[in-house]
Amino acid sequence: MMVQKDQNILSRYTAGLSRQESPPMLLSNEHKPLTGKERRTQSMLPPLADKTIVLHERVISNPLPTSKGFEPSMEVLYGRIRFNSSLNALMINFDGIRVDTEQHIKNIRQAIQNIINSHNKEFSDVSCFVNYDGFTVDKSMMELYKAHVDSHLSSEQYKTVQRFTAKAFIQDEIKKLEQASNVTTDSNCSTILNKKYRIERPLDEGTYARVWLGQDVETNTHVAIKEYSKKSLESVPKLLHFFNKEVRILKKIKSNGGHINIAELIDNVENDSSHFLIMELCHTGSLDSPFDPHQQLSEQVAHKYFIQIVDALDFLHNKCCVVHRDLQLSNICLDINDNIKIIDFGVGDFCEADQSLDMFCGNSSNACPEMLTGKSYVGCQADVWSVGCCLYKMLTGYNPYRCAQKTLTGEFMIPLEEEEALSSQAKDLLNCILCLDKSKRYTLEDIKKHEWFLNGGSL
């Protein structure tokens, strides 16, 4: 009966693949993202996922594993292993999987073999991508796992084997901070800082920093006050390194005359318990609205914002030699005049035009393919990819890729050909920026010459 059950699961897997080259998204027909005219005729968007989804599409949307992780049953594995025919690539997502029995090891080998066989492929012709985030093997099973699985997932068996991840470096450092004993943010900060800045009320709070609404008591101008607990920073030295670099970046931007579309560092002060960055206040908040997470902008509005983002990025890259590395709509705010303000250089870095970096940081949804696979990447190119992701979300209301696997295979959340409302020029620009082949991917200079960039607001 167990064999019959596994065959039934595989038959459902192959049946799903035979219906279409690119498997359906993680949504039922009833709860898929609206496109084109549909989105403008329905004010309340449906939920993102349905519980009765096709097995082989239950990839990275699984709930976060418990401390014990997921057992690699055949059903789970057929949901975690996919073959992309257009790229001739096997995508294996071991995120949160635990291996603690011999049967688990047999299941993994059998599932991989069945899926390759279902496509009539030889292992040596296939490129393999594997995600090991949160993957664990019991010590008693380690030798068996190495012999039967680890040795198989090698470049000797496949055309190429690459590891990918959806977890940025900074997440590990923040986790250390959360686990550190006796590390808390001091909530009893002074009402007046440096006899000049009055703290009024909290605006936002993160793991190791929080933002206050403040006021310059001399000019009565409202400011944003970003507070970093010294105790928190000192408990994780790498976070202190990031903080010090953020201050240097903001000062470098200011020394180069600043930019109208980058939030300005006004001052930096400290007291016994905290560091404070006094920043220009963005009155309207970020473009990533928590009240309408799938907000879709018109091409005219998106065009205006995109031009400002690109101009600010050009200033950062070419005048300041700085890369942001965490460009997403939550870090792009609006001022009182409806102009863009880029904020949060917490994982930024100093970088020459063609300089390579190797740290994965920022948001995996907006990370370029090279960053996800742990390869070195050109910092400026990584920012341009993220800008393309921002443009996609402004125009469609959704991130371009549902998960890291989708980024690596170039499968958009909403295929652009389904976006009837978008102009052909906008679609072309998105395809040129979010191009898997980095040698063909657009640069900032290419973007500024594109027809949509030059005339998008009037198309």
The C-alpha atoms of residue 373 and residue 371 are separated, in whole angstroms, by 6
The C-alpha atoms of residue 23 and residue 377 are separated, in whole angstroms, by 29
Decide if 240 contacts 234 (C-beta within 8 A): yes
Q: How many helices (H) and strands (E) does the chain have?
A: 15, 19
Q: Which segments within 116-264 are labelled E, that is strand?
A: 127-131, 136-137, 160-164, 192-193, 197-205, 209-216, 222-229
410 torsion bin: left (phi>0), alpha (psi -120 to 50), beta (else) = left
Ramachandran angles phi, psi of 118, nearest 5°: -65, -20
Report the run of H or E that residue 89 belongs to, with start and end.
strand 89-93
Enumerate residues 6+ apart whose C-beta is below 8 A from 408: 89, 91, 129, 164, 369, 372, 373, 436
How does DSSP assign 230-261, residue by residue?
HHHHHHSHHHHHHHHHHHHHHHHHHHTT--TT
The residue whose two tokens read 């944003």 is 224
Token pair, residue 331, equals 């870090």
Q: State the burial class of residue 219 (Cβ atoms within 10 Å of its Cβ: 0-12, 13-18, 19+).
A: exposed
DSSP letter at 128 equals E
β-bridge pairing 160-164 and 197-205: unpaired
Q: Residue ranges of the alpha helices (H) in 284-423? A: 299-318, 369-372, 379-396, 404-409
The C-alpha atoms of residue 402 and residue 389 are separated, in whole angstroms, by 12
Report the run of H or E that residue 13 belongs to, with start and end.
helix 2-19
Residues β-bridged to residue 390: none
Token pair, residue 364, equals 């995996």
DSSP letter at 155 equals T
Catalytic annotation, pick one of 6, 100, 133, 326: 326
The residue whose two tokens read 């990533």 is 288
Indicate if 326 belongs to the active site. yes
Decide if 239 contacts 173 (C-beta within 8 A): yes
Residues acting as catalytic residues = 326
